Amino acid sequence: MKMDAKALARLVSLVAGLWVCWMPAVFAQPNYPVRPIRILIPFPAGGAADLIGRTIGEQLSAQMGQPMVIDNRPGAGGRLATELLAKAEPDGYTLLVGTVGGLAISPSLYKQLPYDVARDILPLTRVGEIINVMVINPSAGAANVKEFINWARKRPVEVRFGSSGAGQPDHISGEFFQRLAGIRMTHVPYKGGGPALVDLISGDLQLMFSTYIVALPHINSGRLRVLAVTTRERQPLLPDLPAVAETVPGFGLSNWNGMFAPAKTPRPIADRLVVEINKALRAPEIRKRQNAAGIEPGGSASREEFAKFVREDTARWGEIIRQADINVE
């Protein structure tokens, strides 16, 4: 088939345009990284997300030959740091240790967010599971999840569960649990998990879904009793502790963390980051330090797998929020 001069010119123009668009992605910063990389942490120093970011950052620095600058930006339950990432230059020099709250829960809790997760954020790889547990005050007299449910059914509304705030993962976990277990409890929100834990120890509350490492000293002292982990299956770090789902089918919530970049980050750079981050997560020192803080490190097989996980988890939290009629605005 012969092509006239105009058609040929159009074809050449199209190919040239595609080449121009493709070139920056392939050849952008071939020696990446050539300067320090900033890792945004959505919570203050000393917390689980901070430890995840710092341990991975140290290993990435050794692997990639550039400093990793930890930038703690607490505020708004993780939304502040997520907004900063969404507005950052998509050049591979700004990353985020994203959390379930800012990425999967907030889209269903808030009508207006300063970012759109699907449009503005690029999931790279999952980096860790912060182990959450169901803990009770021993006065409840329950040795396991089934006994607690039976105990609570005899005291509708009287049973109080605390959380670090309305709309936070521990609040939603409690709402989800009582719906599936067929019990009625009263939610008591606090400004942070610490004050709630104090009241759980004193007996003003009967139940919390707390991070394991925070509750551990009180579990060891006998002031609190741990019944189960909140993930769908048992955790390798705590193999003898059952999952809530073993008693309450369908229950299972993950307090995951992942590494994210701005959406328009060149794909070769994004792919390089996934390889490097997953490699860092296999370092024995990272596993040792994170396990000591009640964190189970682990990467995703691919960016696509992690993106699918985030979409599905967002939909799942959204359904729970709608069914529980949780409204924080």
Predicted confidence (pLDDT) per residue in 192-231, tens digit: 889 999 999 999 999 999 999 999 999 999 999 999 999 9
Domain range 37-131+255-324, CATH class: alpha beta
Q: What is the fold, at CATH topology level, of the domain defined by 132-246?
A: D-Maltodextrin-Binding Protein; domain 2 (3.40.190)
Distance (Å, rounded) from C-alpha 259 to C-alpha 210?
A: 23
Q: How far is CA 160 from CA 137, 155, 175, 273, 325, in A?
A: 11, 10, 11, 44, 18
At position 292, the amino acid (one-letter code) is A
* Assigned token pair, 244: 């809530």
Taking every pair of Cα atoms in the chain, the longest distance, rounded to a whole number of angstroms, is 87
E strands in 80-148:
94-99, 121-130, 132-136
pTM of the entire predicted model: 0.86
pLDDT in tens, 23-79: 444 444 568 999 999 999 999 998 899 999 999 999 999 999 999 999 999 988 899
Q: 3-34 b/e with 16+ CB inside 10 Å = b?
A: eeeeeeeeeeeeeeeeeeeeeeeeeeeeebbe
Check if the beta carbon of residue 207 is closer than 8 Å to that of residue 134.
yes
Distance (Å, rounded) from C-alpha 228 to C-alpha 234?
A: 9
Q: Do 37-131+255-324 and 132-246 share a fold? A: yes
The domain locations on the chain are 37-131+255-324, 132-246
